[in-house]
Amino acid sequence: MDLFIIASILIVLSALFGYVNVKFLKLPNTIGLMIVAILFTMGLFLTSLINPALLNLAERLIAQIDFETVLLDVMLGFLLFAGAMHTNFDQLKVQRWPILLFATVGVLTSTFLVGGMSYFLFNALGHDIEFIHCLLFGALISPTDPIAVLGIMKKVGVPKKLETKIVGESLFNDGVGVVIFLTIFTIASGGIEGDHGGSTLSSIITLFGKEVFGGIAFGGVIGWITFKLLKTINDYEIEVMITLACVMGGYVLAHYLHLSAPLAIVVAGLIVGNDTVRDSAMSNITEQFVDKFWELVDILLNALLFVLIGLELLILTFEMSFLIAGCISIFLVLIARYLSLIIPVQIFSKRLEFLPHTSIIMTWGGLRGGISIALALSLTDEMNRDLILTVTYVVVVFSIIVQGLSIGNLATRLLGKENMIVNKDEH
């Protein structure tokens, strides 16, 4: 199959699954699409008992889609820019220090906690796995997924102050998490060497610092250039194209310079979406067209992504020990996330007037998504790829469906209806 046929099939499936969800399930689109896709995949397995032709066709289709490349190199930049553009910049500025700690110290802490606990779990279940490979699992599962978080937080009515923390953290810890994963991956592959041939702390810090801080700085530059270009003309068609060029050109150039492209695009999106920039650089009609264009991109790519997540069930290795490890890992990941949030929340809770039960709500609202699956798919067979991929998929599906559907009710129960209504008015 060529690229156009594959894309056409995915678009048709997304439209049909979306119709089924809106007509019958009436769930948030991201969750509903994934559930319908999973049910569809299970239906393919059942039909294979009678005739395997349809299942074989679907497996060939999924085998031709490089999920890691499609998500990390194609979709991610567009989705992050769209999400960052519509994030409240003023609220984000107020919450910048706790968000910074959540996205750095929190992710690192969770990586090692998950890595340590999963090492004992996997070996107890009879899987001979190295500690550094468990750290890879910790690194890919610890960052919350901005795509899943943004898609669901818009619907559940979490108070604005708390939503900003969860969304802001997910926008930044995604880029940081990818850098941590790639750093550990490089060490596991023997790729970081110091002066005497061994892995060195200075080499790791240099790599991490260049990717993260270089990506943030580069994002500021391309965001500023985009703002200047928008300010000097008044043509909504060209201005929409300029924002598109910012994402595509910026993402490619960041990769070429070995900087964190996700972080660069997040920063650029925050600058372009800032109310001050909008007021001084965009006319009303330009603002409407830019917003509608990126809203459409966001809706379309989100639909495709969550359908793909559901269809990825076709490539999993079904072993009972893998599924047991996945179910137990759900609790390990939640415990690690709660522990990783305690210190940042304690530091800033009084100064920034955190809502009560912030740690619990952020733990349950820290959804995992396609990025975790994409990173798991990049592992080699020597890194226990099949085990980690299956465990990751189980955690992601639980996160999106169970946590995603219940986070609103949990927040209401813990904060009280009055607090939810008062904070909702801030939207």
117 and 200 in one domain?
A: yes
**Coil, strand or helix at 109:** helix
Helix ranges (DSSP H) in 95-235: 96-101, 107-124, 131-141, 146-156, 160-188, 201-231
Q: What is the C-alpha separation between 129 and 406, in angstroms, rounded?
A: 34
- Give pLDDT, residue 90: 83
Q: Which of 21, 46, 63 is the last residue of a domain?
A: 63
306 and 223 in one domain?
A: yes
Q: Which of 53, 75, 63, 64 is nearest to 4 (CA)?
A: 64
- Average pLDDT across each block of 10 residues of the chain; the chain has 427 residues. List them in order: 88 96 93 96 94 93 92 94 88 90 94 98 96 97 90 75 89 91 90 54 80 95 96 95 97 95 96 88 94 94 95 93 98 98 90 88 94 96 96 97 92 76 51
Give the pair of three-digit tokens for residue 333. Answer: 């990941």
149 and 15 in one domain?
A: no
Q: Which residue range forms the structural domain that includes residue 22?
A: 3-63
398 and 318 in one domain?
A: yes
C-alpha dihedral, 210 to 215 to 220 to 226, nearest 10°: 140
pLDDT in tens, 137-171: 999 999 998 888 887 876 777 788 888 899 999 99
Q: Which of 63, 84, 105 is the last residue of a domain?
A: 63
- Give pLDDT, residue 91: 83
pLDDT in tens, 305-363: 999 999 999 999 989 999 999 999 999 999 999 999 999 999 998 888 788 899 999 99
Count the domains in the chain. Answer: 2
- Give pLDDT, residue 148: 85
Q: Which of 85, 90, 154 is nearest to 294 (CA)?
A: 85
- Give pLDDT, residue 375: 96
Q: What is the C-alpha separation between 247 and 77, in angstroms, rounded?
A: 6
87 and 224 in one domain?
A: yes
Q: Which of 63, 89, 109 is the last residue of a domain?
A: 63
What is the value of pTM for the model shown?
A: 0.93
- Give pLDDT, residue 151: 75
87 and 46 in one domain?
A: no
- Give pLDDT, residue 117: 98
What letters, b where the CB count within 10 A reaches 16 and e where it falls short, cover 334-350? bebbbebbeebbeebee
Give the pair of three-digit tokens for residue 152. Answer: 């669901």
156 and 47 in one domain?
A: no
185 and 122 in one domain?
A: yes
Task: Kindly write down the DSSP assignment for every residue of 284-311, as one continuous string.
Answer: HHHHHHHHHHHHHHHHHHHHHHHHHHHH
**308 Cβ neighbours under 8 A, 6+ residues apart:** 10, 37, 65, 67, 70, 71, 370
215 and 163 in one domain?
A: yes
Q: What is the CATH number of the domain that holds 235?
A: 1.20.1530.20
108 and 75 in one domain?
A: yes
26 and 118 in one domain?
A: no
79 and 37 in one domain?
A: no
- Give pLDDT, residue 427: 46
